[in-house]
Amino acid sequence: MIDLSKGITFEEYLGKSKLEYGDMQLTTYNSTNLSSDTKQSLQNLTSIVNVAVFSEGYCPDCIVTLPFLKRMAQENKNINLYCFPKTGYENFLEEYTGASRIPTIITFDSEMNPKGAYVEFPKELLEKMIPLKIEEKKNLVNDYRLGKYNSIIEQELLDIIL
């Protein structure tokens, strides 16, 4: 089981990330907005959801994904974010998700029962990658990192929170 008290806040994560990698994470966060449907759905959340986020400041997939979680937590105070590095948690990630990749987001209810997980990319995007050739996969990942699949990220994160 993960000890959430060892996690840091999103703001602390941003501070560490900025020191090592500049303002990339903050810039993306500032340009990330939630859809009105997501905001409406989050209003219906009345129970605590603990969100363990495994991320590193250098990871372009983390930079794209984490701002959505922070925006969701701002919409509903029942969402508690705890950020962790990947290093030192590889065995935990393997046990809970079958992979040690970042970003990994694992949601828990108030009793710390697992609710859902998001590992590296949205499942819908992974399915799109299956039939693609290597160059096509690289293009798809690049598009993902440029924000062309933000609605898919937002929906999958919402699904594991609700």
Token couple for 22: 């500049």
pLDDT confidence of residue 23? 85
DSSP category for residue 97: H
pLDDT confidence of residue 17? 86
Rounded Cα–Cα distance for residues 117 and 160 (Å) = 6
Local confidence band at 152 (pLDDT 50, 70, 90 cut-offs): very high
Q: Are 157 and 121 in contact (CB under 8 A)?
A: no
Mean pLDDT of 30-39: 96
Task: Dump pLDDT digits (tens) for 38-83.
Answer: 999 999 999 999 999 999 989 999 999 999 999 999 999 999 999 9
pLDDT confidence of residue 119? 97
Q: Are 69 and 25 in contact (CB under 8 A)?
A: no
The C-alpha angle 94, 100, 101, rounded to 5 degrees, equals 145
Task: Dump pLDDT digits (tens) for 127-139.
Answer: 999 999 999 999 9
Q: Domains, the chain, ranges and CATH? A: 4-121+152-161 (3.40.30.10)
Task: Dump pLDDT digits (tens) for 89-120.
Answer: 999 999 999 999 999 999 999 999 999 999 99
Task: Dump pLDDT digits (tens) for 14-32.
Answer: 888 887 777 888 899 999 9
Q: Are 57 and 21 in contact (CB under 8 A)?
A: yes
pLDDT confidence of residue 129? 95
Q: Are 47 and 78 in contact (CB under 8 A)?
A: yes
